[in-house]
Amino acid sequence: MNKNPSVSVIINNFNYAQFVGYAIDSALNQTYEPIEILVVDDGSTDDSRDVIARYGDLVHAIFQPNGKQAAALNTGFSASQGEIILFLDADDFLMPSAVEKIVAAFQAGVGKVHFRLQVVDGQNEPLGYSIPSEGMRLATGEIWRKLLQTSSYVSSPMSGNAYRRDTLVPVFPIPDDYKTTADDYLMISTPFYAGELASVNEPIGAYRVHTNNQWALTAVSGSRFRRFVKHDLQNYMLLQQRAKALQLDVPVDLERRSLGRIWSRLASLRLEPQDHPVPSDQVTQLVGWGLTALWQYSSHNLPKRIMYSLLFLWVGFMPIPLAKQGITYLYAPHLRPKLVDSTLKRLRAVIS
């Protein structure tokens, strides 16, 4: 790679007129160059087109009929020229030195760099935590091996990833089956072609939680977790397909080794058992799988393993109102009562 590789920031937008200008500004205000900025508007019906048009030649604007997220990313990737590609959701944004730090992390053999995102609200105010949480280090190295051990790894949402162009060529275009879950498709597929992954463990971008974000958990509900479970099942099938194509062996119990997947299934089953997508699931079984995944396959330290073990038991066997509180603690820290949150932080400081 060149000493100063070109970077393409591809912003995908649909009806985020109130946020897309902030995302564009964050890309324009980077301390690194050369950068090209592409904005793909996926058939917005609000004022997005007017906002994007104000930037004139500062960005490469593409307006297309609505085809969902994957279609927008496919269009942007095809039109881009950069050696490094960063996909930025229009409701998120980058810190000024983000691209500079990302490029520095692209050492020889690295095909993907992911980084922590600070979580903010609709008014850009920090909510006091990041994705992933500060206690979890982003995965590094040959992550395809990790995928075949636990079927998951610690990473960031879409806006927290940058790719060497050569990493993306074998997995594009994104299939229509993943038109609303392109994040998952790239997270599972790219490690098999990336060589090694590197990380920037400080927050150099922002992930926005707001009422229109389809994945940010603004309320704990069974329907939201059903969606998570369905996409987890789809991701597991994709992982099997990638491994088979590369003639790699998949452990027969791989699906039960992912802590996050088991959490989603347990939450869905407890909140709305009548609509749970996996009819064969049972609470006791899922709690047992979760504890096994936690103690045999997770990278959490001892205090966190103890805390999450208690949470599994709490969510699994307490009455639904109390179980829901445990789910809220785990998935939506911004919804925790402040007294509970501050108490938990003090406890973590004592036992860590």
Taking only the tens place, the pLDDT of each residue in 248-262 is 988 888 888 888 889
Count up the domains in the chain and report the number: 2
Q: Kindly report which listed range (45-49, 223-227, 281-285) carries the lowest average pLDDT score.
A: 223-227
pLDDT above 70: percentage of residues in the chain: 91
Q: Is residue 116 part of a domain?
A: yes
pLDDT of residue 351: 47
Q: Are residues 172 and 256 in the same domain?
A: no
Q: Are residues 180 and 254 in the same domain?
A: no
Output 330 or 33, whichever has higher pLDDT.
33
Contacts of 340 (CB under 8 A, 6+ apart): 329
Q: Is residue 228 part of a domain?
A: yes
Q: Are residues 235 and 335 in the same domain?
A: yes
Q: Is residue 213 part of a domain?
A: no
Q: Is residue 216 part of a domain?
A: no
Answer whether 36's CB lies under 8 Å from 82's CB. Answer: yes
Q: Are residues 156 and 95 in the same domain?
A: yes
Output 287 or 135, whichever has higher pLDDT.
287
Under the banding of pLDDT at 50, 70 and 90, the label for residue 331 is: confident
What is this structure's pTM? 0.81
pLDDT of residue 258: 86
Q: Are residues 189 and 239 in the same domain?
A: no
pLDDT of residue 222: 81
pLDDT of residue 231: 85
Q: Are residues 259 and 127 in the same domain?
A: no
CATH of the domain at 104: 3.90.550.10
Q: Is residue 22 part of a domain?
A: yes
Containing domain of residue 150, as a range? 7-208
Whether the per-residue pLDDT at 347 is higher than 80: the answer is no
Q: What is the rounded average pLDDT of the residues 192-198?
A: 94
**3 state DSSP class of 70:** helix
pLDDT of residue 235: 87
pLDDT of residue 344: 53
Taking only the tens place, the pLDDT of each residue in 30-59 is 999 999 999 999 999 999 999 999 999 999
Q: Which of 178, 208, 238 is the last residue of a domain?
A: 208
Q: Are residues 254 and 297 in the same domain?
A: yes
Q: Which of 322, 323, 329 is nearest to 343 (CA)?
A: 329
Q: Are residues 174 and 237 in the same domain?
A: no
pLDDT of residue 334: 56
Q: Is residue 215 part of a domain?
A: no
Q: Are residues 277 and 199 in the same domain?
A: no
Q: Which of 208, 230, 251 is the last residue of a domain?
A: 208
Would the CA dihedral through 23, 37, 214, 254 be positive or negative? Answer: negative
Q: Are residues 150 and 34 in the same domain?
A: yes
Exposure string for 221-239, b = 16+ CB within 10 A, e = fewer: bbebbbbbbebbebbbebb
Q: Is residue 239 part of a domain?
A: yes
Answer whether 49's CB lies under 8 Å from 20's CB. Answer: no
**3 state DSSP class of 311:** helix
Whether the per-residue pLDDT at 70 is higher than 90: the answer is yes
Q: Is residue 13 part of a domain?
A: yes
Q: Are residues 74 and 193 in the same domain?
A: yes
Answer whether 12's CB lies under 8 Å from 42's CB. Answer: yes
Q: Which of 208, 231, 247 is the last residue of a domain?
A: 208
Q: Are residues 192 and 86 in the same domain?
A: yes
